[in-house]
Structure 1
Amino acid sequence: MSDLENKLSIIKAAIEDKKGIDMEVLDISNMTTIADYFVIVSGSSSTQVTAIIDEIESKMFLAGFDKVNKEGYTSARWILLDYDDIIVHVFHKDEREFYNLERLWSQYERNNN
């Protein structure tokens, strides 16, 4: 298993452990150089959103993977974890519906193919 596959597996397991809602893994490697994957998931409350983030950070740290950046933790509405080749977006469910990143990236892909 490559480091990338291992990271993705750890992140998905952490999200599942905290009962993340509607997880989507988008392969963006052919669309941009910012990352290979976006992982997008929702939480039903600010408490669940931060619990998902804390679980991902803990499991990734234990596996020896450090994040590059974290944004939005204090608001707990849209938190981003950057693991260089994987960017994790954990949304409060209301924010996810508003921003709809999946739609934006699918439109980008359609327009550039």
Structure 2
Amino acid sequence: MDNSKEMVKLAYEALDEKKGEDIQVIEIKDISIIADYFIIANGTNASQVDALVDNVTDKLGRNGYEPKRIEGIRSASWILLDYGDVVVHIFSKEDRLFYNLERIWRDGKTVSKEQLMGE
């Protein structure tokens, strides 16, 4: 398994463990040079958003992956964890609806949980 797929799988599991809502994985490597994958999820309140961020950084960190950049921690409404080939977006529920990244990146390929865990 290549590193980006492993990172996606670990991040997905970390978000799922903390009950992240509507976790979406979008493969964008064929349409953008930004990253190979975007992972998008939201929490129901600021505390849950913080817990999602902490769990992703902890789980990836324990497996040797450190974020190159983290944006938006103070606001707790949209946190971006940049791992290079994988970018994790964790939103508050309201901001996720407002920014609608899934619509912006609709040309990307949606990866199902089954595809992710089966590979």
Shorter-normalised TM range: over 0.9
| SS of equivalent residue, structure 1 residue 32 | coil
The higher relative CO (CA closer than 8 Å, separation ≥ 6) is in 2
Q: Which amino acid is 2:10 matched to?
A: I
Distance 1:11 1:85 in 2: 13
Matched, 1:60 2:60: yes
Which residue of structure 1 aligns with residue 105 of structure 2? 105
Question: What secondary structure is seen at the aligned counterpart in 1 of 2:76?
Answer: coil
1:11 alignment partner, SS class = helix
Q: Is 1:76 aligned to residue 67 of structure 2?
A: no
Gaps of 5+ in 2: 109-119
Q: Paired residue for 1:86? A: 86
Count of aligned pairs between the two proteins: 108
CA distance in structure 2 between the partners assigned to 1:57 and 1:47 by the alignment: 16
The runs of 4+ residues in structure 1 deviating greater than 6 Å are none
How does the TM-score come out when normalised to structure 2?
Answer: 0.88
Q: Give the corresponding residue for 2:8.
A: 8
Q: Secondary structure at the match of 1:90?
A: strand
How far off is 1:41 after superposition? 0.2
Cα distance, 1:29 vs structure 2: 0.5
State the superposition RMSD in angstroms.
1.1
